[in-house]
Every structure is written in structure tokens, then in C-alpha cells.
Amino acid sequence: MKIFPAIDIKDGKCVRLTRGDFDKLKIYNEDPIEQIQDFLKHGFKNIHIVDLDGALSGKLVNLKIIKKISLKRGVNLQVGGGIRNLESIKQLIDIGVEKVILGTAGIKDKLFLKNACRQFPKNIALAIDVRNKKIALSGWKDQTNTDALEFIKTIEDYGVSRLIYTDINKDGTNLGANIQESLSIAKKITIPLIISGGVSSIEDVKNIINYKEKNIEGIIVGKAIYEKKINLKELKELE
């Protein structure tokens, strides 16, 4: 099971949101590079990064910071936020990003998603951000009526290498992950799934691992780390 400590970047700082609300933003570290160093010191290699400025603006904003992080030895990055074209994908892959996460652009434009998967095989991940099983877009500001599972089934043969499935109602709340919904989705699809949103304790992580669902590739852990609800040493021992 891969465990992804999360870094969300806003205005060059390491922050977290609550339920995707930019009015409920908290800064945890002024320097994302310093935060990465802490994760690497504890042995983590897989890191989840979201350019929140990019998600809002529709273009890569924090590319220089991401490049500095990607140069750290042994780090495997999955990066999302503001990636709307093939050029942006190439920019990230060229600096060493392992998985480029498409969200709004890939969901709104299936042809773009398909072309991205063809041009960058094994490098494209898709973020499925949901409220009450319905997809939300544009930094979670645009709520659609599109059923998440129904959408995933329509793109299942495109070549998406990984799904990041986030329950927005849980994200940043420290109330526990929506494990049952994530497991239900994972059982019905063939694309490997990463659970995201609301992981609040070591017990949450253990519960996900203990289900032994073969299509669950990993877990993203964010706010619980920054709020000291999860100890990094204990977390690493579960990976």
C-alpha cells in the first residue's frame, strides 16, 4: 500500500483547506521544500502535491517550487492543479513528475483526457472529487450532477493509470475517510484507486489496509499529519 503525504501549495506556502473551502485555509509551513524534507527524512518517497493557485487559475503557477521538490533524490511525485493542456503535462513530466493529475480539464473534455493518456502512457492520473457521489470541478467550486461511478465507467479504457478519489465533505475535516464509498467504487472499476479525504488517524489507515482490496493502490494523508493526529514514524511503518 502506497502512502502519500500531501502538500497543497497556495501563494508559495504549504496549506490545507477544510472541505475544499478557500475561506477555511490554514498555513502549516511557509516553505514547502522544508516540508518535503521532513517527509523524506521519515522515509516517504510517494508525495501528493496540489497547486491550489493553479486549480483556481487554470494554469500552472507553482512550477518552480514543484521542480525544486522533484529534484530531491528518490522522490515520486503525483501533481495536480491547473493542468489544462498537453504542454503543461509535458512540462511536469520533463522535470521528473511521475504522475500528472488531470481534473477539471480531463472530465470536461474526454478527448483531451484520451489524447493525454495516449501521448503520456502510464503518466496520467485522474482526480475524481465528489460531494455526495457527484463530481465537483474547478477547485471544487463548480458542483455538477454527474455521477462519479458512471463517469469513471465511460473512461475506463482510455489508459488512465490511477484515480485519486476524494470525498470533499470529508477532506480536511479529520472526521475519518469515507472508506465504504471508496471501496465500493474500487470494486466496480479496473483503474487503481487512491483514497483521499478525511483520513484522520492511524486506525483509519490500518482499516483501509486491512480490507485488502486489491484495486486500492494507496492512501493520501494530509491534514492529520499537520495537526499531529498521525505520527509520521508510525505511518511509515504501515507502508
**Among 92, 33, 97, 96, CA closest to 63:** 92
Angle at 189 between CA 184 and CA 195, to 5 degrees: 55
Does residue 135 sit in helix, strand or coil? strand
Question: What is the rounded CA–CA span in Å between residue 176 and residue 179?
Answer: 8
Question: What is the rounded CA–CA span in Å between residue 233 and residue 188?
Answer: 33
β pairing state of 142-147 and 76-80: unpaired
**Among 105, 113, 103, 100, CA closest to 155:** 113
Say how many residues make up the chain. 239
Catalytic residue among 51, 53, 129, 171: 129
Q: Is residue 94 flagged as an active site residue?
A: no
**Among 93, 99, 53, CA closest to 79:** 99
**Among 69, 77, 137, CA closest to 101:** 77
β pairing state of 124-131 and 134-137: antiparallel
Q: Is residue 23 flagged as an active site residue?
A: no
Catalytic residues: 8, 129
